[in-house]
Amino acid sequence: MKKKILHIIVGLGNGGAENTLLKLTKSLKKKFNSTVLVLSNKTTLEKKFRNEKIKLIKINIKNKLSLIVNLYKIYSVIKKNNPD
């Protein structure tokens, strides 16, 4: 059984960290089930993640107040995915 990994990232814009996360999750696909939790709507690379069959969960956090309100959603996603 594959171990589960949950990656949390602010957005999937076209930056270095986002591209590195894409490469990392692609290379780990054979050994791990990766899920990416995206905290904003910056999803330039979303199509590439979907093409690689990497599960994406998006939570639209717009500002600091929205973050406070969405902390429960983040907690729920972590709890539901139960990563190793």
**What pTM did the predictor assign?**
0.90
pLDDT of residue 2: 92
pLDDT at 67: 76
Mean pLDDT of the chain: 92
What number is the average pLDDT over the span 17-30?
Answer: 95
Q: How many CA atoms lie within 13 A of 68 on its CB side?
A: 2
Coil vs helix vs strand at 55:
strand
Helix ranges restricted to H, 16-63: 16-28, 46-51
| Phi then psi dihedrals of residue 21, to 5 deg | -65, -40
pLDDT at 51: 95
- pLDDT of amino acid 58: 93
pLDDT level of residue 66 (50, 70, 90 thresholds): confident
